[in-house]
């Protein structure tokens, strides 16, 4: 069933639109009502509706569970609506927020995802009728215009449902420690309001590198014939690679997967994905399963899919209804010519390493993308798209390009190919990278999003009247990165997703004066305190970037810049940033050392 639905109004020709006055001159007769036994997300939806209306109008509507005597905003469960779907309609003076809030699937529905339709309907209402926007986490992230009244006219009911059953955006701070002033709950709240499933049930899909979860070094010692002919059998005390065709190995691996399932009966999906990197066996048996990818490199996809198929068949027989997930990635990222038939209990997650780090700006990959996407979607009973496409390892304050070119390709293609899920990657440097986090989150719900218009809206709300300067900054940055990537070799290297010295020299150092000019022009026209604060968060990153470029000798006359700080002042600046959302932060903090050459190696 295709989920490319979004907001679809339908006509009721016999009903005339009626205006429902919820708030008039900061007064209201309405209450918010839900059933006494409503599920937790419906209760959360009622509070979110109450808070949004109060922030906009100054009026706090009571939340009640008894039958209301007067008009109400009523939150009701309607399981006949699509997965995560909602309908907003009027009945007399009442507004009905109906949603599919089914928390348990029908018998035999292995791939069920708990539904949050009422909450998502409330979010749609707040966005559409109150103009609410959640630009980023934290104190300055919410934008809800104030008003004296709230009048709602529905010409017809509004219905909506998402483009993907599973919508995940990772690495935006949702799993970080609760640093003082930067609690991960702020990020989780932002994710909920953008209707991301990993804000509600993070582990509904699992594809992580996991071979070492099931086989142990002692197994390799007991069966030396299981060791890969090319990769490490054991690395850092854990099993790394093994021969997937060795007699007896699949049986033991599947038995260990089943043992893990039995220990974790509530885990929705168990991963059987290989260890990260490449060390796959090329013994005489395995050689028969090694092909060649479109770029002339060895392709291990047939070997990995055969292994997945064999393990999944055992699990399906022994534990029917339990599901498995497996990456197709690295040197098994291209579909084989003659794949095995894959069972229904297995989901594939295509993670195209060649496209990481703006790789889709390279013509060779742009040209192949649609065809490879289509083929994987045809092969997998349940297909998820996963990419670090607009992500690069960036530790020194450089704003990442938004790249409307890439965003306009990926999720629309995944939705058109009926992908079950999408897992995308953002960054925690919200000061400069909030726009791309925001656009991806919006696209995960609506893959047909007008990206350019949504970016303009974000920038105008975030920064005020001077926002066209910031749009010009991001557009110019996109163009610089496009030229850099088109000149880069299409042969994969780990350095392709690093903001290293080569990228700093080619893209950021020559562009820094232009970024500073545009920043100052925007700053002079900020109209509100939130706009000044958000722009200052962007500036925090330029302070960090300036310091890194200055120390690398990549700036002329650095002392003349607004963003210049001597080493002592910069150290004080970093301390002041510890509790904010501006900069990228890792476990070691905000100071990531000098710009590195080539591929990053952690100190």
Three-class SS string for 446-511?
CCCCCHHHHHHHHHHHHHHHHHHHHHHHHHHHHHHHHHHHHHCCCCCCHHHHECCHHHHHHHHCCC
Tokens of 481: 């990165």
Q: Where are the alpha helices (DSSP H) in 150-300?
A: 184-193, 211-214, 217-222, 249-263, 284-287
The whole-number average pLDDT for the span 407-435 is 97
Q: Which residues contact 315 (CB under 8 A, 6 or more apart)?
A: 254, 257, 258, 261, 322, 324, 345
Q: Among 161, 187, 212, which residue terminates a domain?
A: 161
**Strand partners of residue 291:** 299
* Cα–Cα dist 459/412, whole Å: 23
DSSP state of 442: H
Instruction: Report the number of distinct structural domains present in the chain.
Output: 2
346 assigned to some structural domain:
no
- Residue position matching structure tokens 């690398």: 552
Q: Is the pLDDT of residue 8 over 60?
A: no
- H/E run at residue 387: strand 382-387
520 assigned to some structural domain:
yes
- 278-289: pLDDT as tens digits: 999 999 999 999
* Cα–Cα dist 79/106, whole Å: 11
Q: Among 105, 137, 161, which residue terminates a domain?
A: 161
379 assigned to some structural domain:
no
The whole-number average pLDDT for the span 372-394 is 96
* Cα–Cα dist 96/80, whole Å: 15
Q: Among 101, 134, 161, which residue terminates a domain?
A: 161
> Looking only at Cα atoms, what is the longest distance across the chain?
80
- 302-327: pLDDT as tens digits: 999 999 999 999 999 999 999 999 99
φ/ψ (deg, to 5) at 53: -65, -40
Find the helix packing angle between 430-445 and 529-551, rounded to 10°.
120
- Residue position matching structure tokens 């009640």: 64
Q: Is the pLDDT of residue 105 over 80?
A: no
383 assigned to some structural domain:
no
CATH number of the structural domain spanning residue 42:
3.30.379.10
One domain, residues 43 and 191: no
Tokens of 408: 């306009």
Q: What is the predicted pLDDT for the residue at 107?
A: 59
The chain-wide mean pLDDT, for the chain, equals: 94
Q: What is the predicted pLDDT for the residue at 16?
A: 57
One domain, residues 188 and 70: no
Q: What is the predicted pLDDT for the residue at 603?
A: 73
* Cα–Cα dist 427/394, whole Å: 9
One domain, residues 569 and 489: yes
One domain, residues 101 and 181: no
273 assigned to some structural domain:
no
* Cα–Cα dist 356/6, whole Å: 28
Which among 109, 76, 79, 112 has a CA at the least distance from the CA of 94?
76
- 465-523: pLDDT as tens digits: 999 999 999 999 999 999 999 999 998 899 999 999 999 999 999 999 999 999 999 99
One domain, residues 85 and 178: no
Q: What is the predicted pLDDT for the residue at 143?
A: 97
Q: What is the predicted pLDDT for the residue at 242?
A: 98
- Residue position matching structure tokens 């066209």: 468
The SS3 assignment for 196 reads: coil
Look at 16-20, 67-71, 171-175, 239-243 and tell me which has the smallest mean pLDDT. 16-20
- 541-552: pLDDT as tens digits: 999 999 999 999
Which among 523, 521, 522, 574 has a CA at the least distance from the CA of 547?
574
* pLDDT confidence bin for 425, thresholds 50/70/90: very high
Structural domain for 122, as ranges = 6-161
> CA angle, corner 38, sides to 70 and 109, nearest 5?
135
One domain, residues 452 and 494: yes
What is the DSSP annotation of 90-153?
Answer: EETTEEEEEE----SPPTT-TT-----HHHHHHHHHHHHHH--EE-SSSTT-EE----S-EEEE
Q: Which residues contact 559 (CB under 8 A, 6 or more apart)?
A: none
One domain, residues 583 and 487: yes
One domain, residues 150 and 172: no
φ/ψ (deg, to 5) at 309: -60, -40
φ/ψ (deg, to 5) at 118: -65, -45
**Strand partners of residue 382:** 347
One domain, residues 179 and 60: no
539 assigned to some structural domain:
yes
Which among 451, 233, 421 has a CA at the least distance from the CA of 325?
421
* Cα–Cα dist 368/351, whole Å: 15
Look at 69-78, 177-186, 241-250, 378-387 and tell me which has the smallest mean pLDDT. 177-186
Q: Are 28 and 22 in contact (CB under 8 A)?
A: yes
One domain, residues 86 and 185: no
- 512-528: pLDDT as tens digits: 999 999 999 999 999 99
Which among 307, 305, 318 has a CA at the least distance from the CA of 381?
305
One domain, residues 16 and 50: yes
Q: What's the CA dihedral at 576, 581, 586, 589 to 10 degrees?
A: 10
First to last CA, the chain: 49
One domain, residues 136 and 176: no
Q: Is the pLDDT of residue 421 over 50?
A: yes
How buried is 592 (Cβ within 10 angstroms: 0-12 exposed, 13-18 middle, 19+ buried)? buried
Return the number of other C-beta atoms located less than 10 Å from residue 294's C-beta: 12
413 assigned to some structural domain:
no
214 assigned to some structural domain:
no
Q: Are 326 and 379 in contact (CB under 8 A)?
A: no
Tokens of 239: 């099993």
Q: Which residues contact 525 (CB under 8 A, 6 or more apart)?
A: 464, 465, 466
């Amino acid at each position: 069933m295709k989920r490319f639905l979004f907001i679809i109004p339908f006509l009721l020709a016999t009903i005339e639109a009626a205006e429902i006055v919820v708030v008039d001159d900061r007064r209201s007769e309405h209450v918010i009502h839900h059933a006494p036994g409503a599920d937790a997300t419906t209760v959360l939806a009622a509070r979110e509706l109450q808070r949004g209306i109060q922030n906009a109008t100054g009026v706090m509507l009571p939340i009640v569970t008894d039958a209301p005597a007067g008009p109400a905003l009523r939150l009701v469960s309607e399981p006949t609506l699509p997965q995560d779907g909602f309908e907003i309609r009027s009945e007399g003076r009442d507004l009905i927020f109906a949603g599919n809030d089914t928390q348990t699937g029908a018998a035999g529905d292995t791939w069920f995802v708990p539904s949050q339709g009422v909450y998502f309907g409330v979010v749609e209402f707040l966005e559409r009728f109150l103009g609410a926007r959640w630009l980023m986490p934290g104190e300055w992230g919410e934008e809800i215009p104030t008003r004296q009244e709230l009048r709602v006219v529905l010409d017809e009911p509004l219905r909506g449902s998402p483009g993907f059953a599973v919508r995940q955006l990772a690495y935006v701070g949702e799993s970080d420690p609760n640093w003082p002033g930067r609690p991960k709950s702020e990020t989780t709240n932002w994710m909920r309001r953008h209707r991301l499933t990993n804000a509600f049930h993070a582990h509904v899909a699992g594809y992580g590198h996991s071979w070492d979860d099931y086989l142990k070094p002692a197994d390799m010692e007991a069966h030396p014939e299981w060791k890969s002919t090319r990769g490490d059998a054991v690395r850092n005390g854990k099993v790394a690679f093994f021969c997937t065709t060795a007699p007896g190995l699949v049986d033991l691996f599947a038995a260990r997967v089943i043992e893990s399932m039995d220990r974790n009966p509530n885990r929705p999906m168990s991963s059987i994905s290989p260890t990260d990197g490449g060390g796959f066996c090329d013994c005489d048996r395995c050689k028969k399963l090694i092909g060649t990818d479109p770029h002339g490199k060895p392709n291990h996809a047939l070997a990995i899919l055969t292994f997945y198929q064999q393990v999944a068949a055992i699990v399906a027989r022994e534990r029917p209804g339990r599901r498995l997930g497996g990456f197709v990635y690295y040197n098994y990222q291209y579909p084989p010519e003659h794949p095995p038939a894959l069972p229904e209990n297995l989901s594939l997650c295509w993670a195209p390493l060649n496209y990481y780090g703006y790789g889709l700006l390279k013509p060779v990959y742009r040209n192949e993308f649609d065809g490879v996407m289509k083929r994987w979607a045809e092969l997998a009973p349940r297909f998820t798209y996963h990419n670090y496409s607009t992500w690069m390892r960036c530790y020194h304050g450089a704003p990442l390009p938004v790249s409307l070119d890439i965003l306009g390709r990926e999720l629309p293609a995944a939705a058109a190919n009926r992908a079950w899920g999408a897992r995308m990657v953002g960054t925690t440097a919200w000061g400069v990278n909030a726009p791309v986090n925001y656009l991806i989150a919006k696209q995960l719900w609506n893959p047909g999003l007008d990206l350019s218009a949504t970016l303009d809206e974000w920038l105008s709300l975030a920064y005020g009247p001077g926002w066209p300067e910031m749009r010009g900054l991001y557009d110019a940055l996109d163009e610089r990165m496009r030229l850099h990537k088109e000149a880069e070799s299409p042969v994969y290297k780990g350095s392709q997703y690093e903001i290293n010295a080569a990228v700093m020299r080619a893209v950021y150092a020559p562009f820094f004066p232009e970024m500073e000019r545009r920043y100052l022009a925007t700053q002079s026209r900020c109209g509100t305190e939130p706009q000044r604060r958000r722009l200052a968060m962007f500036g925090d990153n330029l302070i960090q970037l300036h310091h890194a470029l200055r120390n690398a000798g990549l700036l002329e006359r650095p002392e003349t810049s607004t963003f210049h700080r001597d080493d002592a002042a910069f150290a004080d600046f970093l301390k002041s940033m510890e509790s904010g959302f501006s900069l990228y932060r890792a476990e070691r903090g905000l100071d990531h050392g000098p710009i590195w050459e080539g591929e990053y190696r952690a100190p």
